[in-house]
Every structure is written in C-alpha cells, then in structure tokens.
Amino acid sequence: MNKVIITCAVTGAETTKKQCPNLPVTPEELADAAYGAWQAGAAIVHLHVRKEDGGPTQDLKIFKKAIDLIRKKCDIVVEITTGGAVGMTPEERVAPVSLEPDMASLDCGTVNFGNDYIVNTLPIMRQFASEMNKYKVKPTLECFDVSHVVSSHTLIKEGLIQPPYHYGFVMNVPGALPYNHKLISDMLSQLPAQSEFTIMGIGRAHLPAIFGALSFGGHIRVGYEDNIYFSRGVVAESNALFVERAARLVKEAQLEVAKPSDVRAMFKLAR
Ligand code: ZN
C-alpha cells in the first residue's frame, strides 16, 4: 500500500492576518494549528515563525517555543524553514537548524519571488547541508526550477546529503515555474534514485497540485503558506480543513495517509 505524506505549511512568511484572519502567528497559535493539522491527517508541519508585529523572523527563541509546544501536543514531524523570508542573510536563515527539528527545507537554487528574489548559491547550499548533517536534520530539497534539481546532484556527489532524498517541487511562485504536468515530468526526469517528492502548488495551483501529486506518485502539501482559498473567493477557516480535504482525496484514490511514524521510518529521521 502506497502511503502519501501530507505536509501542512501552517503560516509561511508572506501571508498576513489581514488576508487570512485565522492565520496562526504566535507560538501558541502555531502549536494549535499543527495539532489541528495532525488530527486531520498531516504527518509533517512546515514551520515559519513571526514576530509580535506579524513579520517573519528566524528568531531562535520564538522557534524553540513553537517547536516545544508542538512536541508537547503531538508526534507530528517538525520541518522548519531555512528559506526564511526575502532579505534575510544565509546565517539568519540557517540558524534554527541548531534547535534540532526533525527536518528543514533546503532551497536548491536562486529564485525570483515576485519582484524580489532569494539567493541560494552552491556555497550557501553546502553550508546549509553541512549544518543539517551536524544536527541530524533531514533536508527537504526545495526546487523552484528544473535546474535546482540538477544542482542538488552536486550535493549528492559531494556526500553532503544522504538517501532517501526528499524533494519539494515548488510550483506557481510568481517569477518561477508555473504548475503543469510537462514541468512536473521534467523535474521527475532529473530525480536521483531513492527519491520521494512532494508537490507544492502555490495559489490557484493548490488543488491541481494535490491531484498531480496523487497521479505522479508523490506527496502533498497544503496550508496557508501556499494558499488561503478553500474554494473560489472563500478563505479557509483553518489549515486543518485543507488537510482534511487532502486526506479525503488520498483515501478516494485508494491510498493510505502516512502517519508521522511512517515518515520517520521512510526518511530515516534521527528522532
Ligand atoms: Zn516555507
């Protein structure tokens, strides 16, 4: 039986309370959102944290508080961001890896982000991968372009990342790859052996990406970071609602929703 992992990206760096009134922002709200997502079937929570004013931060104290609160509530696998937010330094972005989350995102190339950009040179990628090795944190190799998948091969050749690999195809970010099946196939054609992949459809690609992941044998990501609309013009009342729908679709496809313990075994997580 194929098991499908549902990741819930509960808040992200860009979404605001103004757009999405129930956006979790404080560590307590993030823990509640992670717990709700776990109850609905999410096995991984992808975590960003915010300052009191709601802006994105990589502050270690805030991250630690959120991670501790989540771990008290449930066994969901905790993946932190090292993408951070536009304008952060690499050192700032990678710092929370020292808190020993289960997993962390590792962006595999420089990318346009609307009118902004996020820099991920090979030296930055090596630095991030080394930090993750040091703290036994499993990377999700986030690829916004086919060339990013190819860049990840360099880390593999250099022994900086170990199988099984987990890729995240981030599709429909303004300025980067749109969402379509030809481009998914192109990304897949460059994956090394022993790879799992999650498709992240941003904005209106959210729902198509769930069906895409199920069709291509991948895993699913949902949540307010990627998309706030449950249906046309209707902002979702919670992250959990997105997870519930994804879990329903997994079951309709006669597949099984992966539990956190499945993810820990599948990805050989340290904790
Ligand atoms: Zn993120």
Q: How many angstroms separate the alpha carbon of residue 1 from the centre of ligand 1?
A: 29
Q: How far is the CA of 11 from the centre of ligand 1 (A)?
A: 8
3 C-alpha to ligand 1 centroid (Å):
23
Query: Measured in whole angstroms, how far is the alpha carbon of residue 41 from the centre of its chain?
Result: 16
* Rounded distance from Cα 154 to ligand 1 centre (Å): 23
Burial bucket for residue 72 (CB in 10 Å: 0-12, 13-18, 19+): exposed
| Spans of all domains in the chain | 3-266
Q: What is the DSSP letter of 88?
A: -
- Kindly give the distance from the C-alpha atom of residue 84 to the centroid of ligand 1, in angstroms, as a whole number: 7
CA distance 101 to 79: 6
Q: Which two tokens stand for residue 10?
A: 């509960």
Q: Report CA Rg, the chain.
A: 17
Phi, psi of 130 (to 5 degrees): -65, -45
Ligand 1 centre distance from Cα of residue 24 (Å): 14
For residue 261, the CA-to-ligand 1 centroid distance in Å is 22
DSSP letter for 177, please. -
Cβ(214)–Cβ(255) below 8 Å: yes
Distance (angstroms) between ligand 1 centre and the Cα of 181 equals 23
Buried b / exposed e along 178-202 (16+ C-beta atoms within 10 A): ebeeeebeebbebbeeebbbbbbbb
CATH topology of domain 3-266: TIM Barrel (3.20.20)
Task: Please give the distance, rounded to the nearest whole angstrom, from the Cα atom of residue 12 to the centre of ligand 1.
Answer: 5
Ligand 1 centroid from CA 10, angstroms: 9
Distance between Cα 168 and ligand 1 center (Å)? 11
Q: Where are the beta strands (DSSP E) in the chain?
A: 3-4, 6-9, 44-47, 49-50, 56-57, 77-80, 103-107, 111-113, 116-118, 138-143, 165-171, 195-201, 219-222, 229-231, 234-235, 256-257
Q: Which residues contact 205 (CB under 8 A, 6 or more apart)?
A: 171, 172, 178, 179
pLDDT for the residue numbered 1: 55
Ligand 1 mean position to 46 CA, how many Å?
6
Q: Taking the model in full, what pTM does it have?
A: 0.97
The alpha carbon of 226 and the centre of ligand 1 are apart by a number of angstroms equal to: 8
From first to last of its 271 residues, the chain has per-residue pLDDT tens of 589 999 999 999 999 999 999 999 999 999 999 999 999 999 999 999 999 999 999 999 999 999 999 999 999 999 999 998 888 999 999 999 999 999 999 999 999 999 999 999 999 999 999 999 999 999 999 999 999 999 999 999 999 999 999 999 999 999 999 999 999 999 999 999 999 999 999 999 999 999 999 999 999 999 999 999 999 999 999 999 999 999 999 999 999 999 999 999 999 999 8
d(CA 182, CA 22): 35
Helix pair 146-157, 122-134: axis angle to 10 deg: 60
Please give the pLDDT value at position 67: 98
